[in-house]
Structure formats: C-alpha cells, structure tokens
C-alpha cells in the first residue's frame, strides 16, 4: 500500500515538474536513444517470433474449422491490439526499467541524489522527467515497429512454411483492421511506457541499504512494472472496447 502511495507521489511530482523550465532537451534526447534506439534489436527479434508462432498456432487451430483464410486477420489483430504492446512493454520493463532502478538506486546510495539537491537541482526534475517522457515517446514507436515485423513473421510462416496464398494472406491481414485498432495498441504502449518509467524511478529513488538495496530495487522495478502492465492492460482494454463504438462510425 505504501508502495502504491509512493508510485502516485512520484507520478504527481513528475507531472508537476514537467512544464517547468529549464527544459533539458539534451538529456531527453540521450534517454530516448538509450531506451528507444538501443532497444530496437531485441524488440524486432521478439516481435518477429511472436508473429511467427502466432501464425503457426492459429493455422493449426483455424484449419479445424476450415477457416485458414482468417489466419492473417487473427495474427494482425492480435499483434496490434494486444501482443505487441504487452510483450514490448514487458521487454522494456526488463531492459530499461531495471537499469533505471539500478542507476537511480546507485545514485541514492552513493549520495549523488543528495548532491543534486545540495546543488539546488530537484532530482525529480533532473533525473525522472526526461526518463519518463523518453519512455512514453519511444515505447509506441518500438511497438509500431514490432507490429510491422510481427506481421512479417506471421507472413513468412503462413506463406513459406504452410503454403498459404500470399495475396489472400495480406488481404486478410488488413481486411478487418482499421486505424483505431492501431491507435489502441499505441495508446497502451504509451501508458506502459509511463508505468515502466515511474516505477523504475520510484524504486530507485527510495533505495536504501547499499549494494544489496540496489539489487533489490532493480528486481522490484521489473517485477512491479510487469505486474502493473498486465493488470492495467485488462482495464485499458475494457475502457477501449467501451470507447470503440463511439469512435468507429
């Protein structure tokens, strides 16, 4: 419970500091490179195989109903709506959330955070604001790449391995998908980016107890962010399916 309180406290402070100058564009850019650009390979790799295995599974299931022509639709919609943002979020929680927890936690136990405060620099403003927004900006981009590569993975399996008709497959991929589906996935991704950033910063900021404490903060960043992603995904989906009829036509 106390952890939840801290989460909202950190969240509120990040929001409150965001509009205040000076804007540290250089730091933001640096973090965007760190969380975004450097995560591209691992995101592409996992998306590729997610799409591939999805095609493999749905092919064998849909074949039982003679509905192989829907494999493309199923793969595309599952990826865009659900798998790409959730798996992307989990991967980023492991890769970026953990390093944020460890980095800020180390800064805490080596008194670097105290040093910042002493030099009249708010650690929330200086450390957390650029990290959180870098994640909010980059995770949707990564997920978008994941969508494309995942569908390519599905295509490869269906067409090359299972012998599906390439034209039918591609046509089926896009037949039932509209822009709102894509947007839903990206909104989720941005939200997961926010969760990973705030949780990582929070766990790091409240670290105590030397190297052991930093280890604990690192683990907790990943575990808490992953759980938060999976739980919030349910509620986000609920809200967005409720919104869908209002937005689409």
Partner 1 sequence: MTGNGDGVVVSLEGVRKAFGDLVVLDGLDLEVRQGESMVVIGGSGSGKSVMLKHVIALLRPDAGRIRVDGVDLASLGNRELTHFRRRFGMAFQEGALFDSMTVAENVGFSLHRLTDLSAAEIRERVEECLRLVRLEGTGEKLPSELSGGMRRRVGFARAIAHEPEILLFDEPTTGLDPVITALVDDVILDLTEGLGTTAITITHDMTSAFRIADRIGLLWGGRIVALAPPEEFRELDDPRVQQFIHGRAEGPLTDPREVPGSEIGEERKR
Q: Phi and psi (nearest 5°) for 165?
A: -75, 120
Binding partner 1 (rule: CB under 8 A), the pick from 29, 60, 160, 208 is 208
Shortest Å, Cβ 111 to partner 1: 4
Stretch in the footprint of partner 1 (CB under 8 A) among 82-90, 106-114, 192-200, 237-245: 106-114
Stretch in the footprint of partner 1 (CB under 8 A) among 2-10, 108-116, 128-136, 139-147: 108-116
N- to C-terminal Cα separation, the chain: 42
Stretch in the footprint of partner 1 (CB under 8 A) among 38-46, 72-80, 91-99, 114-122: 114-122
Shortest Å, Cβ 193 to partner 1: 22
Q: Does 12 bind partner 1 (CB under 8 A)?
A: no
Binding partner 1 (rule: CB under 8 A), the pick from 3, 4, 60, 114 is 114
Residues 14/124, Cβ–Cβ less than 8 Å = yes
Q: Does 111 bind partner 1 (CB under 8 A)?
A: yes
Gap between the Cα atoms of 10 and 192, Å rounded: 16
Binding partner 1 (rule: CB under 8 A), the pick from 38, 117, 171, 212 is 117
Residues of the shown chain interacting with partner 1 in the complex, contacts defined by CB under 8 A: 107, 109-112, 114-122, 208
């Amino acid at each position: 419970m106390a952890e939840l309180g801290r989460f909202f406290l950190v969240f509120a402070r990040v929001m409150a500091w965001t509009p205040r100058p000076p804007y540290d564009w250089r730091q933001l850019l640096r973090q965007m490179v760190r969380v975004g650009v450097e995560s591209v390979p691992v995101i592409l790799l996992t998306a590729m195989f997610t799409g591939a295995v999805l095609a493999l599974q749905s092919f064998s299931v849909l074949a039982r109903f003679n509905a192989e022509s829907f494999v493309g639709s199923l793969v595309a919609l599952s990826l865009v709506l659900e798998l790409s943002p959730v798996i992307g979020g989990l991967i980023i929680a492991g890769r970026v959330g953990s390093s944020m927890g460890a980095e800020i936690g180390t800064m805490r136990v080596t008194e670097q955070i105290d040093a910042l405060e002493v030099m009249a620099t708010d650690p929330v403003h200086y450390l957390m604001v650029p990290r959180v927004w870098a994640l909010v900006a980059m995770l949707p981009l990564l997920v978008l790449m994941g969508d494309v590569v995942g569908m390519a993975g599905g295509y490869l399996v269906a067409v090359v391995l299972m012998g599906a008709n390439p034209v039918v497959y591609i046509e089926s991929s896009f037949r039932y998908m509209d822009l709102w589906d894509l947007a839903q996935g990206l909104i989720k991704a941005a939200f997961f980016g926010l969760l990973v950033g705030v949780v990582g910063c929070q766990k790091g900021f409240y670290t105590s107890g030397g190297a052991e404490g930093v280890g604990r903060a690192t683990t907790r960043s990943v575990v808490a962010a992953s759980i938060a992603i999976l739980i919030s995904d349910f509620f986000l989906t609920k809200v967005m399916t409720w919104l869908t009829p209002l937005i689409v036509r």
